[in-house]
Amino acid sequence: MSVNFGYSIAPTRAINYDNCDFSKLHELEQAVPSFKRCINCGACTATCSAQQFTSFNIRKIKTLCMDGQYESLGKELKKCMLCGKCTLVCPRGLALRPIIMTMRKIFVTK
């Protein structure tokens, strides 16, 4: 670049679902069918111990799963302490610890 403009072209944040691979999401939904009951309220994230001192955000992880954006999930899921507070506050009664454990199997070990 011959000119310093002082800014660069912001990369697009649009997600093209036609190019997304949803196979891992389907695998997760088959393993833990209750995952579909989530209403994205964010109570899990609000009460999370790990989010007090890391960027761990269960609600964001769920959104990334639903959008087929798996790249950062492995790193993020390692931040969970498996304390289970989220399971206590979930208004839909989701067993979030098994969900996180299954996610780790699908997105981290594979």
Is residue 1 a contact point for another protein (CB under 8 A)? yes
Token reading at 83: 């304390």
Is residue 10 a contact point for another protein (CB under 8 A)? yes
d(CA 108, CA 70): 10
Identify which of residues 2 and 109 has a Cβ nearer to another protein in the complex. Answer: 2
d(CA 72, CA 83): 22
State in angstroms the smallest separation of the CB of 48 from another protein. Answer: 31
Give the other-Cβ count within 10 Å of 26's Cβ. Answer: 10
d(CA 60, CA 36): 15
**Using the rule CB under 8 A, which residue among 11, 18, 19, 21 binds another protein?**
11
Is residue 7 a contact point for another protein (CB under 8 A)? yes
State in angstroms the smallest separation of the CB of 15 from another protein. Answer: 14
Contact, 90 vs 44, CB < 8 A? Answer: yes
Is residue 18 a contact point for another protein (CB under 8 A)? no
State in angstroms the smallest separation of the CB of 10 from another protein. Answer: 4
d(CA 5, CA 54): 35
Q: For binding to another protein (CB under 8 A), which residues are involved?
A: 1-3, 5-12
